[in-house]
Every structure is written in structure tokens, then in C-alpha cells.
Structure 1
């Protein structure tokens, strides 16, 4: 794989009704209904809204045989109205349901974590190799008849692994790891290959973007070792709503798309399903703009490990680099120095707008918390000025440079000046590739100066800024290269405060700096047992001021306790209008009436000392 130059991974072609994917076909966009699958009219109307928004596949939850059989009526109604978009049945826990669904849907999603294995209970099980082999044989005995039905009906399948629903069997042998998620998938893929069934798509998802990206990278590596090239469905589960859902999805999905991985995507928002489609479309279109970009000549650093990355080793300069949290530098190139208390940048880049006694030809960066006085003011050079002014007495200096600006003279200067923080710039079509090239050049040269990425845009819509900047930063964060971000939107269309909030949101979505409460909330489906959107709004209204908490808000138990296993508190649908509350993985209170559940959640948080007014 070339880490610096974009090209799409070549995947097998898979035929899903009249809309194939993989190969040279476009990256497909999809969503999932949140209506009850037995309500034919509601499902059809919502499917039409998804399709008219640009959705190319429509998935429906399929809890039981009745729901699977009703797909026939939903499918027929859509076709009668002129809609040919393929339908995907989403099946958990019951192989019989998958077999029926394969008769009426163009694709069936199954979950290896609960297709044959019992629902996850977090119990530690012990298997001998012989016992483990018998469990694999159980999978074969149930899975092969399903594949035969799919062959007869030309039905595609998706093997969809979720971090939140790994089986106790996999967990016991591999732990809660990317390796366990990959093996859960590979067990089923090997049977597909053995049975010469190649109409298969794979997804491997998590709400934690770091786990999601690293696991997909590892899966692709493992498939290559076993001569497989199945297409990939990408998504971040339980991404949430609003700006959090957009940033988190764009960061995780974008990190993989920018490396050429992914043949279909679903942006999972806790909003109306059709609202997901424009976000997904913007993300795909933005990434694909780098196709055919000018070649970036670069050499991979030997210590870089794509599937198991670690943070690049740097020296600490003030509060930048070393083991410290990545910083946020905010551009203030006008007289607007207002900052938010919650999303206060660490530094302000003021360009040449500081008062007298400063050189007029260089820029300045100031400490945002105590910016008056020369001891809180640091020069910002370009690479030519660095060589001329390397004797400058400041204890911290900032060098703005592109990859091509990092010449031998500059690197020689950096060797003598570890107090220089590098601010990487790029106007390349593939800015990720050029930023990576710069970081790898530093590693190859043994230079340990901290690295901040200057991401420059000119957007008029906040959503566009969120999607593009998160996609551009995703792989840099996952790769362990980010010591800070300078996010700047040229023009006055988006406020500085909103740009700052986006920068902090990106760092939080990448799990490298927390600045607010994180909500792990599912997008909802026909299994959802309460009004998801209004509940999320109520929980956010009561807890948004809390810093550093993770709260899971899950419609049902399919991924509930598992996907929010690293959440501090969980709110999970237990029955129609009934809620169970969790602290970590432990269920604290069951079957609370929905109208009391949000207040009970707040009481639980308060009882554990995690609530502040």
C-alpha cells in the first residue's frame, strides 16, 4: 500500500440487485429505516425518502420470520412505484430469519457475533482447541444452508461484525481486540471461499473510531494474506447526532476512504435516515477529488506500523509534544480575540497583527490563556526566515512549512533547534499524503520536533467544514502523528468560535483529547424501543455541561451493553417504553418507565459523584 498517493483498493465485484458494488463501480451510499418492519406503508414511504435523497441501498431491521416475510410486500410495493433500489435485511440472533429474508431482499446482513453463538453475556469461557473446532463446525452447519439459499436466489450477503456484539467465545480467546473482531469475520469468510460463494460484502464497525479504523486496516491485511479481496462497507456505529455525529463519522470513515478503502458507506446519525445521505455524499465526493493527484515522492519510515500505530516520538516544547495532549491553535487574523470558555484554544495565531516592537515580516503565536507580554509571544517563521533568524531568543518557535519546504538546510537547522514546533502546511489535492510524507521525512531524519497540522479551508457551511477537516485529520490522528491542529476557515462565513469547537471535536472524535461529554447514541431502527431523538435531546440538555463523561444511549440490546462498554453510563431500551440503566457493563436498574428514565439516569450519575451543576 502507498501511504502517500491515493488510489482505490481493487475489490471483487458484488452484485446487489441492480446496483453492483466493488470493482470499478462507484462508492455506494446507504441508510437504514427506523420504522417497524411490519408496517409496510411506513417502511415504503421512508425508503422512498432515503432513495430520493440519493441512497443506493436501503436496509431494514428484520427481527423475526414475520418481518422477513413482510420484506416481500415492501419490495413489491417499491418496485410497483418504479423504485429499483436494492433492499437489505438486517438479521441478528436467528439463522432461520436470514434464510427467509434471502428470498425477498437483495442482500442479507448477518452478525457473526450472534448468528450461531449466544447473545453476549460478558462471561469468560474456556475452550480446548478441540472444543473450539466443534464451535466452528456449528457455524458451518448453520451457515452453509444459508449460503445455498443465497446462491439459488442471487442474494448477496454482508458479514457485519460489530465491536459491541462480539461473542463470548471470541472474547474469551482473543479479548476485546481488533484481532478478535477480524477473526470473528474471517471464520465466516473462509467458509464462503470454501463454498465458492463470493457475493459477499464485509463491515467491521465500532463507535470508537480508533478501534474501527485499526480493525479495518488489520482486516484488509489479513484478507490479503489469504488472497481475499471482498468489498468493504464502512461505518462508525452509534456516532450520535448533530456536529458530533458528523465529525465522528467523517473522521472514522474518512480515514479509511482517504487510503482507498471502502466500497459502500453508511453515516449512522441519530436523526431521520434520509438526513444521513447528504452527509455521506459530501464525504465521498470530497475524498474522490484527490483521484489522479500529482505524485508525492516519499519514503515510509521503518518504525511506522500501519495496523498497530503508536504515537510518533517527539520532544516536549512547553505543553506541545512529548506525552502531552495535542494542542489547538486558533487563527485570529482579525481583531476578534473572543474565545469560548469550554473550547478555549491553547494558542492564538495572530499573524503580524501584534503591537509595536515586533518584526513586521514574521507572524506571531501567543498563549491564549496569558497572551500579554513577550514571554507569552512566540515567533512564527517560514522556512527561509528560520535559517535567517535561528538565533531568535524565544524559548518556543513555530516553523510553517510544506513537505517540499523541508529541505536539507531546514533539517540541519531543526537538528540544532529542538525548540521549534513544526506547523505543516499543504495545498496539495491529497493533503493527507503530503502531511504524511512530511511526518515520515522527520522520522527518517531522526527529527523529534512536535508536529501541528495547519488545515486551511474556505467553506460557507459549518457542516462542510466539519466533514472535510475531520476526514483530512482522521488518518493523521490514527497514525499517531498529531501533536496539534490549527484549523482555519478563510472568510467570515463561519465564526471563529465554531471553528475552534470543530477543532476540539476532531481531537475528541479521534480519542486523543476530551473537552466535553461524549454521547454514544445509535441511529435507531425498527428495533428501537423508545423515542430516540427526543430522548437524546433531553439527556444532552441535562448533561452537556459535564466534561469527560461518556454516555451511551441505545435503542435496544443488540449492540447496547457491548458498544457502550467503555461508556461511563448507559441508557438502553429494554422493552416497549421500558429502559434499563447501566454503569459501565453493569445493569443497575431494569425496566424503568420511559417517562422516568432520564431523571433516573441523572440520579445515577449524581449518586456516583460524576454530576456537577
Structure 2
């Protein structure tokens, strides 16, 4: 199978897409990557929609999407547009359509772009498995095409653009029955509609492949690009987004893991970050992701090109095969290393920066799901006994000078590794860059069963350089575990969250990485408390990236939609309330959806679901099965907890002594 999905895996080149003009704001080609978001107020609230749109534009939105769940909302788009234009706002409007072709056909005469979801535009989803013959499947496809054709003709006549937006969670029963819940099913769902557009000589199309699962999302976009090329279809622009990313830090990390991974390879022409927050908060995050690539080609240092086909399958997740060294590699989860080497001093209480909380009252450390597995202390080993389970990495010189302590593990450079035979018998760490992976070093690594590599780079094109190092290891048959290492220096925390999530998350998405360390050597000197705060944030970020990439689950995951005019309750308030009650349930995934459109399908892999089904009414799900219907909103969180209790998944929150420094 052809594995090519981007212009280059080593050189930053943006994929060229045909230009689609959307209300005078062109998309694709050499135009900038655009920012968009979606209103959250009721579409029938004309003034509210106008005011929110103006705030979104002020925040940086270049396109604004508004839901049109029925004909009446589609008609009101005209009034919203009139009032916006009267106030000097010419932002292109996008109508969001689910289930209602009539609304789409009306909206296409009013707005600059319509978004349709192939999974529910003229198809259906009732979670039924249907045994189609080839003939019956083809007949069903033709029925859908005929229902879709009028919209294509209207868009062509009015010069209206269209986004064919597949969502992982709303694939139709027909697609699921033939392709399963797969990236291929997502791609084929869109291509069925796209082929008809081309038959009608209509090319003002944008495509998207959204999912809440970042692995599925990335694989689907890559496969879409490959299929477009394989079938000789036009290189249509791509709209990037992770659905139901959530809120706050988790939502930003998850968005960056998915969107950033694609941007690194030059894919994407417009971005929407879906946060369970006010929509004007989304645009700055999208802009921060995009701006990283404005000068990427000029800033990037050359990376050795591939001398052979890509050794990975970019369309399916496979973790790189490694041998086990201590608790790295093999079947172990990726490990977190906290870099504490630059702390002015290190005492018991200071280990809170690595997620280990010390209680002076109990004189012991409290277990934490966000406790680092290792700490790196450089030239200054800790002067006290570490809590059970926490291990220490020190520089090779400190390890040697301290008498090669068995409970310290040395960090070596490439020169030391090649020239000095001193080793820890079980576990050694070797800091490397791509340039240092020469033939002699690779030959020695092939037979070393006690070394873990720490891959680092200072290249602006960081993720592709680290990925190229992995390719070199794969080509040489080296199976040592590898820790992904990045350091960013003094910049706002939110930017570090996005940058690290992109660079390291992009590797984890492809199964590359057995650990993570966010280095601190580029940070300016600061006082003890400032260091502790920074290190605590970096430790939390490390666990967040692993969770967002679906490689280590250390906390509750919330799959919460960003809200829109269809939402039937206050999503931000409800999400906060559910989080407050359930954030101690490690590894449980809870979907929080504002309406049935973003209901059981969109939270495809959630363990439990909380879905608005009417004013003040909630449906509760176990997986994709509705368990309780029309639960009063006032009781719904209690009922959700009771459902978990029945399943043996509920544990009470532990009340613990307040640790030092909390």
C-alpha cells in the first residue's frame, strides 16, 4: 500500500490544496491557514448570535459557524447576516447541518458555506448492524446521492462552499456495517459525497475527519489525503479539529496532540479548536498552533532524508517493539521523568513538583496518579531516601564519583558511552541526538540490554527530527526503549503546553516513545517557589500528553462537546460539576454532550455518557446504550454516579491530610 500522505517527512512543506473561495476569504493554496469557531447561543436569538460572532471575530475567527438544526434556524441566518453586515462585520458564515437536508438547501442560498455530516445528512444511525449485499449497498448509496444532489446544485448556483465533515462518532449504520468503526470508514463516508460533487463539476469543497480519539483522527486525515491522490480526486483543503476535546489544560493538550501532529507534516488549511468554553477562547489557541509554522521552513535545520520507504504504517497504530529495561519498554506504559536538576535545593516537600506529596503529620508520602516515575537530579543526588517507587537519574560523573550507587542510575553522553565501560548492571540512560546515531553507536546499541535512550533536539522542526531518529533505530534493528525529551525555555505556559503536546504527542500517536521528559535547561534562573511551580506544571503536562495520545491513562477523561445553539443545558457549568464529583476515577471516560446530535455517537469510546435530550432532561448511557431516559437534570449527576456504582466502577474520593506546599 502507498504510505505517502504528506509532501515530506523530514522537510517542512505545506501540502498544496486547491483554493476554495469562502465569502472573499480564500482557503487553501498559498493562503494562510485560517482560524474558525462556532457560536454557542440559540440560533433564534438573533442579537445574541450577532454579539457573540462579533466577539469571535475580535478574538481572531476568520469564519464563524452557526448551527441550523431546522428550517426556521436556517431562515434566521439571513437576519443574523443582515445585522452583522449592518455593523460592518463581513466574516463568512457557515451553516452547520445535521439530519435536515431541507435546512441545508435553504442555508446554502444565504451563507457562504454549509457543513454537512455524511453520517446523518441522508443516512441513519440507530446502532443497527445491517447485512448488505453488494447490490443493496449500492442501492442505498444511490438513494443518498440523489438526496444530496440538490444541495450540490444549489451550492454550485449560488457560489456557496461546502465542508463534507465526517465525525468518527456519527458514522452511519451502513458505513459501520461494511467498514467498521475505522479511519477507512470515515474516509469512505466522505468520498461517497465527494465523488458526486466531482460528477457535478462542483469543487468548492473542504474536507474534515474529526474524532475525539487523537489516534483515530490523525490516521483518518492521513488516509484521506492518500485516498484522494490514489483516486485522482482534487487536492481539497483540509479543516482540522479534534471533536469534544474538553476544557482548560486537558482540552488544549488534546487539541494540540491531534491538530499539531498533522500541521507538522504540512497538512491543514483551516483549524477549529473545540473547547468546552466560550468560543472566543478557542481562536487564540488555534492561532497559537498555526503561528508555529509561519517561519518553520526558514528556521528548520536540514534533516537527513529517508533512504528507504517509511518503516511505519501511518494509517494504523502500532507501538514500536522494544525489549524491556527495568520498567521501560516491552509492555510497560510510557514513563514520566521529572527534571529537578536546577532546583536550588531539594527537600522532602519539594518532591511535590514531581507529583509526590509529603505529609509531615503522617511522615510519609501519599500515592498520586500523577507522580513521576523517575527524577533527574544532575550533579546533585538527593540527600534523603526517596518514596517507594520513585527512582533517581544522575549524571554519569556524579554516579561515578559517588561510588556507583545501585539506587542511582547514570545518564551518559554518546562520547562517554563509547569510551568508558563503566555501567550500571541493570539500567543506564544515554542522551542522544539524531546526528550522534552513527554506524558504530548503532552497532553497539543493538546488543545493549541495559540502556534506555533519551532522544533530544534543538531543531525548530523538532518532531520530524526525533521521528527520523526513530526511523534510523528501526532501520538498524535497535530495540532499546526511548524517552522523548524536549525543552522550550521561558515562554507562556499555554504555549509550552501546545508545543510539547505537538512534538511529543505526535511521536506517541505513531507508537514512538517509552517515556517523556520536559527539560528545564533553557529556563532562566528563578527562586525556589517559582521553580517548584514550573516543575509541577511540566510534570502535570507530561501526564496530560500521555493521556491525550491514549498511551497512559492516569486520570478521568472527559469527552465534552464545545456547545452550540443545539445545547440543552449549561455545558461549562455541568462539565465542571461532573468533574468535581468524578475527577478521582482513574482511566474512566465520561462523555458530556449538549444534545442528541453530539450524543452516543460522538462519545464513541466513552464508558459513560451524560446527554441532553430535552429542556431539563438528561439521558444516561453506558457505552453507547441508553440506560436511563429523561432523568431530571437536578438528579442526573447522582444517577450517573449510581450507575457507576452498580457497575463496580465507583470509588469514594479519599480525604487525605493536607500535604506540605499544597
Q: Same fold (TM over 0.5)?
A: yes
What pairs with 1:357-436 in structure 2 (closer than 5 Å)? Answer: 362=396, 374-436=405-467
**Which residue of the other structure, out of 297, 304, 313, is the alignment partner of 2:312?**
304
For 1:347, the equivalent position in structure 2 comes to 374
Q: Describe how 1:586-597 pairs up with structure 2 within 5 A.
A: 586-597=625-636
Asked whether the 8 Å contact 2:620–2:629 carries over to 1, the reply is yes
Q: Which position in structure 1 is the counterpart of 2:175?
A: 170
Cα offsets for 1:363-408 (capped at 9, x unmatched): 679xxxxxx9932211101100111223424311111011001122
Is residue 587 of structure 2 the alignment partner of residue 548 of structure 1? yes
| Mean Cα deviation higher: 414-423 or 58-67 | 414-423
Deviation at 1:323, TM superposition (A): 1.9
Distance 1:322 1:359, change over 3 A: closer
Task: State the secondary structure of the residue aligned to 1:262.
Answer: coil
Q: 2:327 is matched with which residue? A: 319
Matching residue of 2:362: none
**RMSD (CA atoms):** 1.9
Stretch of structure 1 that moved more, 74-83 or 503-512: 74-83
Q: Structure 2: how far apart are the matches of 1:563 and 1:114?
A: 12
For the residues of structure 2 that align with 1:261 and 1:186, how far apart are their CA atoms?
18
Structure 2 Cα separation of the partners of residues 519 and 307 of structure 1: 25
Task: Mark the runs of 5 or more structure 1 residues left unpaired by the alignment.
Answer: 366-371
CA contact (8 A) 2:378 2:393 kept: no
| Alpha-carbon distance between aligned partners in 1 of 2:249 and 2:149, rounded to the nearest angstrom | 43
Cα deviation for residue 302 of structure 1 reads: 5.2
User: Could you tell which deviates more after superposition, 372-381 or 108-117?
Assistant: 372-381
Matches within 5 A, 1:514-533: 514-533=553-572
Distance 2:238 2:196 in 1: 18
SS class of match (2:21): coil
Residues 56-94 of structure 1: CA distance to partner in whole angstroms, max 9, x if unpaired?
Answer: 000001011111111111111111111111000000001
Q: How far does the alpha carbon of each residue in 1:108-160 deviate from its partner, in whole angstroms, 9 at most, with x for none?
A: 00010011112x11101121111111111112212221111111111000001
C-alpha distance in 1, partners of 2:555/2:221? Answer: 27
- Greater shift after overlay, 289-298 or 583-592? 289-298
Equivalents in 1 of 2:394, 2:215: separation in Å?
Answer: 43
Deviation of 1:593 after TM superposition, in Å, equals 1.3
Q: Of 312, 326, 337, which aligns to 1:329? A: 337
1:47-58 alignment runs, 5 A limit: 47-58=53-64
- TM superposition shift of 1:409: 2.8
Measure the CA separation in 2 of the matches of 1:224 and 1:376: 54
The question of whether the paired residues in 1 share the 8 Å contact of 2:395 and 2:411 is answered with: no
What does residue range 152-171 of structure 1 map to in structure 2 within 5 Å? 152-171=157-176
- How far does residue 515 in structure 1 lie from its aligned partner after superposition? 0.3
Give the one of 103, 114, 117 matched to 2:120.
114
Query: Who is 1:269 aligned against?
Result: 275
1:131 aligns with 2:136: yes
Query: Any conservation in 2 of the 1:12–1:229 contact (CA below 8 Å)?
Result: yes
- Once the two structures are TM-superposed, the CA of residue 551 in structure 1 deviates from its matched residue by 0.5
Once structures 1 and 2 are overlaid, which stretch shifts more, 403-412 or 257-266?
A: 403-412
Partner deviation per Cα, 1:519-551 (whole Å, 9 max, x = no partner): 000000000001111100110000011111000
Unaligned runs of 5+ in 2: 1-6, 356-367, 384-391, 653-662
Mapped partners of 1:347, 1:364: distance in 2: 17
Q: Structure 1 residues 364, 592: closer, same or farther in 2, change over 3 A?
A: farther
1:548-593 deviation line (CA, Å, top 9, x unaligned):
1000000011131012232111100011111000111111111111
SS of residue paired to 1:426 = coil
1:375 match: secondary structure: coil
Q: CA deviation at 1:288?
A: 3.5
CA offset digits 1:207-236 (Å, max 9, x no partner)? 111111111111111011112301000100
CA contact (8 A) 1:314 1:448 kept: yes
Q: Is the Cα contact below 8 Å between 1:343 and 1:504 reproduced in 2?
A: yes
Provide the rounded CA distance (Å) in 2 between the counterparts of 1:526 and 1:42.
Answer: 11
Task: Give the aligned partner of residue 361 of structure 2.
Answer: none
Q: Give 3-state SS (helix, strand or coil) of 1:275's partner.
A: helix
The corresponding residue for 2:185 is 180
- Checking the alignment, whether the CA contact within 8 Å between 1:349 and 1:364 is kept in structure 2 is no
Report what 2:365 is aligned to: none
Matched, 1:232 2:259: no
Q: How many residues align?
A: 606
Tell me if structure 1 keeps the 8 A contact 2:374–2:393.
no
Residue 193 of structure 2 aligns to a residue in which SS?
A: helix
Give the match for residue 359 of structure 2.
Answer: none
For 1:451, which of 482, 495, 503 is the aligned residue? 482
Match in the other structure for 1:368: none
Where in structure 2 are the equivalents of 1:533-612 lying within 5 Å? 533-612=572-651
The residue aligned with 2:155 is: 150
- Tell whether the 8 Å contact from 1:55 to 1:277 is kept in structure 2 after alignment: yes
8 Å CA contact retained: 2:404, 2:424: no
SS of equivalent residue, structure 2 residue 601: helix
Any conservation in 1 of the 2:319–2:512 contact (CA below 8 Å)?
A: yes
Q: Calculate the TM-score normalised by the size of structure 1.
A: 0.96
| Cα separation, 2, equivalents of 1:470 and 1:217 | 19
Question: Is the contact made by 1:201 and 1:231 (CA closer than 8 Å) also made in structure 2?
Answer: yes
Give the 3-state SS of the residue equivalent to 1:380 in structure 2: strand
**1:475 & 1:547 partners in 2: Cα distance?**
24
SS of the residue corresponding to residue 291 of structure 1 reads helix
Counterparts of 2:369 and 2:639, CA distance in 1: 27
User: 1:596 Cα shift?
Assistant: 1.4
Work out the CA distance in 1 between the residues paired with 2:605 and 2:148.
31
Give deviations 1:451-471, integer Å, cap 9, x for gaps: 111111114432111111001
